[in-house]
Amino acid sequence: MNIAIFASGTGTNAKKIIEYFENNTQVKVNLIVSNKATAPVLDIARENGIDILVIDRHNFYKTQDILNFFNEYSIDFVVLAGFLLLIPSYLTKSFENKIVNIHPALLPKFGGKGMYGMNVHKAVHEAKEKETGITIHYVNENYDEGAIIFQAKCLIDTEDTPETISNKVRILEHEFFPKIIEQTITNQTET
């Protein structure tokens, strides 16, 4: 199984996923896709000898060129780890139940367009939520609406700020995302 990770940010999740599958003979991360040529995640790809594809937003929506790259790299599974563009329907259709995303809150709360990174944690803080967490879900053509695979929760204290909430959520992301990817892939190959 070959995984492509889509990421546009710092890439801490991408790093954990790469490390987790490093010595796995069945599953390999062999492509990092980003729409930002300067994204720090691309340095993580370079450090780990993983090929990079920088995509242009217009081409991503108006052509299906990316499917040629996926063929070339024999991509079976796609992981969104801090990728903020909506996935076009030609891709969700070709990779039905083979694209997963991590969202830094308990969907269906605090999801949708514009809800990413610190925006999510600020909204959670403002809403005075007592708990938050992570959601790992399949990706369809709408933001944050695909079937939920896994959620994990953490408590929010009255002293918490958006930053401390973000730190708590990040710990859950790093602990669970690689394992849930592995489980999802394993379940699919067994059925």
Binding footprint of ligand GAR on the chain (CB under 6 A): 7, 9-14, 81-82, 102-104, 115-117, 120, 173
Instruction: Provide, rounded to whole angstroms, the least separation between the CB of residue 148 and ligand GAR.
Output: 14
Instruction: Provide, rounded to whole angstroms, the least separation between the CB of residue 170 and ligand GAR.
Output: 6
CB atoms within 10 A of CB 55: 17
Q: How far apart are CA 159 and CA 56, in angstroms?
A: 42
Q: How far apart are CA 168 and CA 160, in angstroms?
A: 10
Q: How far apart are CA 29 and CA 19, in angstroms?
A: 10
Residue number with the smallest Cβ distance to ligand GAR: 82
Q: In the structure encoding, which two tokens stand for residue 162, read together? A: 């958006």
Q: Which is nearer to ligand GAR, 1 or 120 (CB)?
A: 120
Q: Which is nearer to ligand GAR, 67 or 153 (CB)?
A: 153
Q: Which is nearer to ligand GAR, 67 or 154 (CB)?
A: 154
Q: Which is nearer to ligand GAR, 18 or 120 (CB)?
A: 120
Query: From the candidates 58, 103, 121, 137, which is the catalytic residue?
Result: 103
Residues whose CB is less than 8 angstroms from the CB of residue 147 and which lie 6 or more positions away in sequence, other chains included: 137, 138
User: Which helix (H) or strand (E) covers residue 90, if one does?
Assistant: helix 89-94
Instruction: Provide, rounded to whole angstroms, the least separation between the CB of residue 190 and ligand GAR.
Output: 27
Q: How far apart are CA 22 and CA 47, in angstroms?
A: 13
Examine the residue annotation and report whether 174 is marked as an active-site residue of this protein.
no
Active site residues: 103
